[in-house]
Amino acid sequence: MAQRVLMKGNEAIAEAAIRAGCRHYFGYPITPQTEIAAYMAKKMPKIGGVFLQAESEIASINMVYGAAAAGMRVMTSSSSPGISLKSEGLSYIAGSDVPALVVNVQRGGPGLGGIQPSQSDYFQATKGGGHGDYRMIVLAPASVQEMASLTIKGFELADKYLMTSMILADGTIGQMMEPITFEDTEVKTYEKPWALTGTNGQRKHNVVNSLYLKPDELEQKNIARYERYKVVEENEAMWEEYMMEDAEYCVVAFGIASRVAKNAVVAARKEGIKVGLIRPITLWPFPKKALAKAAEQVKGFVCVELNMGQMIEDVRLYTQCKKPVSLCSRCGGMIPSPEEVLESIRKAQKGEF
């Protein structure tokens, strides 16, 4: 077995990206994700890669767009306010159907907000921060190990479906250290016949563009893109179920909130409350099937998140409001304690939602 090493979540993302074949990183510093850029700055020059600190977030996302169009495995990383700045570029990348990996190590918002952990960019990530009809694959790691494995997965899915994969992490998982192993797993790569690699006079030139002035042509582009999204929704949803077999109540939480929630589920079980946890690993596509199934099984849901209640809307949507859903949340950089989550579970058992 590979050796266990201690690593920060942010460093794990950077190391995994390099192992996934990423040789182009463009970024701009912001707390709490700067270790990603620092790691890349140190490593990329030694392996023939490119690390470039751009003059702004907008410049860096457009560099990502360019490198993606040239067929490179490319990434950028930022935190909440920086992702807002990158959102124009995310829309252009989506409209051009090129693959990229974008990391958001979230901090509290809105505005400049704070620098402590948050999950308040759920809407922005899953419903689209930029303009137009588009989707991103949104991966929500809950451990340092997953920071690495989902980064590799994110590059693979981006290339497979020609879209952006976003790692939606938070300040806690970015800053914490945990043991991690890098297995020598094979990383999938994909042919990119559409890439702008130079024709060498041998083929018709390729075009990467998001401008379609003829409405019927633009409509067809969007329809074709959504056909692809449908395949992603059918095949790529990932989630973890914990103690759900006999559960009468279900906690739904992702990322760092799911770690706190797990402690509360264990504590509630000790009190004899039959409660389980569904942890969405992909936030888009949302694990609809798991939620629909749970809605037939449990008496109610408790949604735990670090915002004013964002994922709870999807929980209600995909359970078709069949069972009540309560919200246990803190925001602005605060994190609920396991006791607060436990109290919400106790209330659910009493029928208080």
Partner 1 sequence: MKTTQILIAGFGGQGILFAGKFLAYKGLQEELQVSWLPSYGPEMRGGTANCNVILSDTPVGSPIVTSPDVLIAMNLPSLQKYIDTVVPGGQVYVDSALIDVKVERTDVEVFYIPATQMAKDNDIATLANMIIVGHLLQNHPELDFDGAAETVEHLVPPKKAALIELNMKALNLGKEYKN
| Distance (Å, whole) CA 246 – CA 258 | 19
Query: How many residues are listed for the chain in this entry?
Result: 353
User: Over the Cα atoms of the chain, what is R_g?
Assistant: 21
The residue among 41 and 196 lying less far from partner 1, judged by its C-beta, is 41
When asked if residue 238 is in the footprint of partner 1 (CB under 8 A), the reply is no
Should residue 120 be labelled a site residue for partner 1 when binding is judged by CB under 8 A?
A: no
- Could you tell me the two tokens for 229? 């999204």
Q: Is 119 exposed, middle or buried (0-12, 13-18, 19+ CB in 10 A)?
A: buried
Of 171, 280, 285, 287, which lies in the binding site for partner 1, with binding defined by CB under 8 A?
171
Q: Which of 178, 241, 248, 313 binds partner 1 (CB under 8 A)?
A: 178
Contact 31, 79 (CB under 8 A): yes
Residue 155's SS3 state is: helix
**Ranges of H-type helices in the chain:** 9-19, 34-43, 57-69, 80-96, 122-127, 144-161, 171-175, 215-235, 255-270, 288-297, 311-318, 338-349
Residue 112 as a binder of partner 1 (CB under 8 A): the answer is no
Among 29, 31, 133, 218, binds partner 1 (CB under 8 A): 31
> Which CB sits closer to partner 1, 35 or 156?
35
Residue 259 interacting with partner 1 (CB under 8 A): yes
266 makes contact with partner 1 (CB under 8 A): yes
Which amino acid belongs to residue 12? A
337 touches partner 1 by CB under 8 A? yes
Q: Candidates 17-25, 73-81, 169-177, 222-230: pick the segment binding partner 1 (CB under 8 A).
A: 169-177
Least separation in angstroms between residue 261's CB and partner 1 is: 8
Which of 176, 187, 196, 243 touches partner 1 by CB under 8 A?
176
335 near partner 1, judged by CB under 8 A: yes
Which structure tokens are listed for 304?
Answer: 């735990």
Write out the residues near partner 1 by the rule CB under 8 A.
4, 6, 31-32, 114-116, 171-172, 175-179, 256, 259-260, 262-263, 266, 333, 335, 337-339
